[in-house]
Amino acid sequence: MAYTLTMAVAKGRVLDELQELWIKAGWPWPVASNGRALWFPPSLHAPGLIIARGQDIPMLVQRGIAAFGVVGRDILEEKGASGVLEVLDLGIAHCHLALAARMARWPDGPVRVATKYPRIAQRFFAERQHPIELVALSGSLELAPHIGLAPYIVDIVQTGRTLRQHDLVEVTRIMDSSAWLIANPAFWRTHADARAVYQQLLSAVMSGEMTERDDSLSSPVR
């Protein structure tokens, strides 16, 4: 079959980890390492691919620029996902959002928190009725406690390396995240190809889960 649909994928860890699933789904991976191309049209062999910033993916799908999107749950929670369908947890790009600081101590009173996730941070502290002042930063969060901007940060943690390198520790975990497949509702309802693309990705996800289960079954019990 010739593919006609396109998938918008968040650059960074989501794009990196999608490659294996994409290939398992039977599609040749078009992105060259160190390549600068951001758009690969659909072809006889694979859906199209648009590489964009995570925060823009829901909008691209909502407008129908891409039929599908692949984006972290963290972004979906922060930016909202109105006008798109959340169709499948792809089980890749696992990470979590954490409150971090120089010491693993819950703040005593009102506190300043630097983050690029103001909505999630606001909700987290509001649920605990803890007063905070948010400082919106778009990157380099780990600097904030060291330069006197804010003693606490809310940021993504994957390996923990960034926190360790900056002498920061987790105070508490806020939410887990992984990459989700989202879809434009009109494409999803009316486009036969949409179901085919979804089915191929679903099979790829399930084959990965089977392998993980087989691995855990065959590993020795300690």
**Residues 63, 80, 158, 89: is their CA dihedral positive or negative?**
negative
Q: Which residues pair with 71 in a beta bridge?
A: 180
Own/partner contacts of 158-166, CB < 8 Å, gap of 24 or more, are 158/13, 158/94, 158/95, 163/98, 163/100, 166/142
Does the protein bind ligand PRP through residue 155 (CB under 6 A)? yes
Does the protein bind ligand PRP through residue 83 (CB under 6 A)? no
First-residue to last-residue Cα distance in the chain: 48
Show the binding pattern over residues 122-151: x = contacts ligand PRP (CB under 6 A), - = does not: -----------------x-x----------
Output 13 or 102, the one with its CB closest to ligand PRP: 13
Output 80 or 160, the one with its CB closest to ligand PRP: 160
Tell me the window of 98-106, 156-164, 194-202, 203-211 that interacts with ligand PRP (CB under 6 A).
156-164
Closest CA to 121 of 93, 155, 171: 155
Does the protein bind ligand PRP through residue 61 (CB under 6 A)? no
For ligand PRP, the binding residues (CB under 6 A) are 12-13, 139, 141, 155-162
